[in-house]
Amino acid sequence: MATIPNKQTRPGLDVGAPVEVRDHFRGEWRFGFEIAAQTDDGYWIRRISDRSVLPVAIPSLEVRIRG
């Protein structure tokens, strides 16, 4: 499991906020995720279904609030 840095998120993307993440294969937005933490490289994302944190930070442009 990835180590999550302890940093504040920017306004609107608080820890626990439901988000969509851009799929790199098809370019579509996928839901079922939440913000785990923010880093200089982007966001650590947690899958809601099993509470697992994805193994890499996702760039800010690839994450949006679930609408």
Question: Residues 33-58: pLDDT tens digits?
Answer: 999 999 888 999 999 999 999 999 99
pLDDT digit string (tens) for 8-30? 444 458 999 999 999 989 999 99
- In this predicted structure, what is the pLDDT of residue 24? 86
Helix, coil or strand: residue 63: strand
All structural domains of the chain with their residue ranges: 18-65
CATH superfamily of 18-65: Integrase, C-terminal domain superfamily, retroviral (2.30.30.10)
For residue 56, which phi and psi values (nearest 5 degrees)? -135, 155
